[in-house]
Structure 1
Amino acid sequence: MKTILVIEDDPFIRESIGDVLELEGYQVVTAANGAIGVALAFQHLPDLILCDVSMPEMDGFEVLESLQQHPETNTIPFVFLTARTTKADQRQGMNLGADDYLAKPCTVPELLNTISRRFEKRAVVQAKSEKQLENVRLNIAQSLPHELYTPLNGILGFSELLRDYDNLDQAEIQEIGEAIHTSALRLHHLLKNFVLYSKLELIAHHPEQAQFLQIPKVQSAAAIIQATAQQVAQQTGRLLDLQLQTHTNPGIGEVPIGEPYLQKIVEELVDNAFKFSAAQTPVVVEITQDANEFVLRVTNQGRGMTPEQIANIGAYVQFNRKHYEQQGLGLGVIISKRITELCGGSFHIYSIPNQTITVQVRFRGDLLARPLTDPMREWARVQDWQVS
């Protein structure tokens, strides 16, 4: 049985709507004012909220704004029930996140049709979300065994060769040891990404923990990015292909992201750029920072992505897997995107298929010096969320 919360200060209207909805088989919770309505919304987590606009103390706009600030209630369908039907009022409500307006007085069919439409729309959205979740599960089921077994088989195979060490010379033993080490590093990187992605998903469901990703804030982003990019280029044997471009003004404030997480973004994006571009083609890492914004761009030549692939990018999704072998569950880009957005930034991919691809991370100027809530206290708790 679906639950509907009715917030209305007029007792006659409130009781009338409640009676109609109960006759239609809904469970009804009523509130005589906005403050009580907000409390009941958190208590019952209704399937839909009908709310008057003009109420004393806390009006409907304030109710909606309050509920929109919390993940438990910001997805509940919200319908304004009001005599204020000017375009300005409707625009204000829609800007705050209202789903619909119902003008008073309304007929019973109008009320029921509006509610029915909201439930139908939510069902469509939920079905789409469930399909996406099923796709994620399917990709995990298909990709995880391969990704785990590939480095593991390398370790097992080369270690098996070492059992016959009496017939191996020193150079062969050294070569086998390096191969085992490479496979172990790949497995370690895969498992770290999987654990980190799980942590980011937990944080995404508890937004107040996003500040853990920002401790301590980066003081010298350009230096960290340059050093990290050079390290990745060195590891991939393409140091000469790396091009660093820096456009910064001295004295600019900190960037709202913790150093380990900025390093992680750079590692994944630069590694991805080298992975999907040919040797002796440039990988450009561009840093722009002034009072208005901080921007990191990583550009490479190669396969690129289609608009559909960019729109559908998600964890565990790897495009053209049979043609392009990709390591690491495809988590690198989505981890970078997740970290950026949880820290308040924007993440965009611009691509010309089979030519170039640019990944951009951007933070607006008003975020560059945003204070944390009691940062010294949070620093003591942040260790559980650091990249390990």
Structure 2
Amino acid sequence: MPKILVIEDEQPVRINIVAMLKAEGFQVILAEDGQIGVQLAQEHIPDLIICDITMPQLDGFGVLEVLQQTPTTSTIPFIFLSAKSERSDFRRGMNLGADDYLTKPFTRTELLEAICTRLTKQSAVMELKQKLEEIQQSNLLKDDFVSTVAHELRSPLMTMKMAIQLLQTTQDTKRHVTYLEVLQAACNHEVELIDNLLDLQRLEARTWQDEAELIDLRTWVPGIVEPIRMRAQQRQQIVQIEICPDLSPVRANQFGLERIITELFTNACKYTPPGGKICLKLFAGNSSSMKAEFGSTTLSQIFTAQRITIESTAFCFMLSNEAEIPANAIPHLFERFYRVPKSDRWQQGGTGLGLSLVKKFVEQMHGSIYVHSANGWAHFIVQLPIKR
């Protein structure tokens, strides 16, 4: 319930007001003079203040003047109480910023109506203020995003421009082939970036449809992973896939699931050294297979560290690779365009959107994703509901 500060030097009036407010469920703070009232207002930041005008040392006008000087207390709704009914006193209070003015004696109904009106208006004002702040923050993020996208799009375009210029000036056949390869790589990068941006936009606008179909993961996943496995073998990386035998076919969005697995595998290939392992493990929520080892860490230890509970109505997969992620980088992994500094072993580059897309797809599919890194390994754990 709202918190109300009552500043009143007359004890009988103070007791009467407190009884009325507590009967309505309000939380009440009491102050017997203006100086104490100012101190309590600054300490507790109440939702509303009811203050007598005529008090010794610091009167109600003085209290309001002090509170108006501090941003945290200047917006608190303020109701004056007074035995005076002169128009000049009323105008003075309003000019100082008071929200209402009740003349003693007042009825219970008058007091509660004044409180309800002020709290309702304050709630509307605070809601509007929050929306304005959200709009301002959204605009800042939008401006930053547009600036970053422009930079990311410009980079491969400049590479293509340079390759075209070199192709036009050289007569050497071997150099022609090299420049064409550079041009093709930059073009592929640009197309990938645009495709990822479009996917990200659809996911954030929630126009992507999470349509489920029955998938036999034991036969489907190896086919998805095979092109990545061939690329990993060229880099002498070892790819292992383990699908628990108790994992039955599941209903899930095939496109979203493919993008999640592909992006995680691509990311793992970028950061795994020659001879390093990349392991994909799939299992059902009711699986008891928790003995798989990753370096000196077991699957159950990883789940305990991340406080992960696998739901019986879900399936889970974990992609692990031999490359530890710096602790200070983990909170930023799913940010758009974020790349872990100086960690791309193969100078492969990328759009910086892969893990952002993974997280968005997981969220759209009503799942959850966790990251754990220790003992020379990085683990990405995804849990998705099994749809009926």
Task: Give TM-score, length-normalised by structure 2.
Answer: 0.54
User: Could you tell me how far 1:188 is from its partner in structure 2?
Assistant: 0.9
Which residue in the other structure is 1:271 paired with? 266
- Percent identity, aligned pairs only? 15
Which residue in the other structure is 1:229 paired with? 225
User: Could you tell me how far 1:313 is from its partner in structure 2?
Assistant: 5.6
2:384 to 360, 363, 375: 363
User: Could you tell me how far 1:129 is from its partner in structure 2?
Assistant: 4.2
User: Could you tell me how far 1:269 is from its partner in structure 2?
Assistant: 1.2
Distance 1:122 1:290 in 2: 42
**Structure 2 residue 367 is matched with structure 1 residue 345:** yes
Distance 1:323 1:127 in 2: 40
Contact 1:213 1:339 in 2 (8 A): no
Distance 1:309 1:126 in 2: 30
Question: Against the structure 1 CA distance between its residues 134 and 262, is the aligned structure 2 distance closer, same or farther, given a 3 Å change threshold?
Answer: same
Which residue in the other structure is 2:191 paired with? 188
Which residue in the other structure is 1:247 paired with? 244
User: Could you tell me how far 1:113 is from its partner in structure 2?
Assistant: 7.0
Distance 2:191 2:365 in 1: 26
1:168 to 163, 169, 172: 172
Contact 1:151 1:186 in 2 (8 A): yes
**Structure 2 residue 317 is matched with structure 1 residue 296:** yes
Q: Which amino acid aligns with 2:368?
A: S
Distance 2:134 2:221 in 1: 35
Q: Which amino acid aligns with 1:281?
A: G
User: Could you tell me how far 1:132 is from its partner in structure 2?
Assistant: 5.3
Which has more radius of gyration? 2
Question: Where do 5+ consecutive residues of structure 1 fail to align?
Answer: 1-104, 204-208, 371-388
Distance 2:343 2:132 in 1: 31
**Structure 2 residue 336 is matched with structure 1 residue 316:** yes
User: Could you tell me how far 1:200 is from its partner in structure 2?
Assistant: 1.0
Q: Deviations over 1:329-376 (max 9, x none)?
A: 432112111112212222222234x94332222123xxx242xxxxxx
Which residue in the other structure is 1:206 paired with? none
Which residue in the other structure is 1:333 paired with? 355
Contact 2:237 2:278 in 1 (8 A): no
User: Could you tell me how far 1:126 is from its partner in structure 2?
Assistant: 4.4
Secondary structure (helix, strand or coil) at the match of 1:295 reads strand
Q: Which amino acid aligns with 2:153?
A: L
Counterparts of 1:15-164 in structure 2 under 5 Å?
107-108=112-113, 111=116, 115=120, 122=127, 126=131, 129-130=134-135, 133-134=138-139, 136-164=141-169
Secondary structure (helix, strand or coil) at the match of 2:276 reads coil
Question: Against the structure 1 CA distance between its residues 164 and 313, is the aligned structure 2 distance closer, same or farther, given a 3 Å change threshold?
Answer: closer
Contact 1:230 1:242 in 2 (8 A): no
2:277 to 275, 282, 286: 282
Question: Against the structure 1 CA distance between its residues 315 and 129, is the aligned structure 2 distance closer, same or farther, given a 3 Å change threshold?
Answer: farther
Distance 1:306 1:122 in 2: 37
Which residue in the other structure is 1:35 paired with? none
Which residue in the other structure is 1:13 paired with? none
Contact 1:233 1:239 in 2 (8 A): no
Contact 2:237 2:274 in 1 (8 A): no
Question: Against the structure 1 CA distance between its residues 146 and 223, is the aligned structure 2 distance closer, same or farther, given a 3 Å change threshold?
Answer: farther
Contact 1:294 1:363 in 2 (8 A): yes
Secondary structure (helix, strand or coil) at the match of 1:213 reads coil
Contact 1:248 1:289 in 2 (8 A): no
Q: Deviations over 1:8-66 (max 9, x none)?
A: xxxxxxxxxxxxxxxxxxxxxxxxxxxxxxxxxxxxxxxxxxxxxxxxxxxxxxxxxxx
Distance 2:376 2:143 in 1: 30
Distance 2:195 2:202 in 1: 11
Secondary structure (helix, strand or coil) at the match of 2:210 reads helix
Question: Against the structure 1 CA distance between its residues 347 and 323, is the aligned structure 2 distance closer, same or farther, given a 3 Å change threshold?
Answer: closer
Distance 1:314 1:226 in 2: 26
User: Could you tell me how far 1:125 is from its partner in structure 2?
Assistant: 5.7
Which residue in the other structure is 1:33 paired with? none
Secondary structure (helix, strand or coil) at the match of 1:288 reads strand
Secondary structure (helix, strand or coil) at the match of 1:296 reads strand
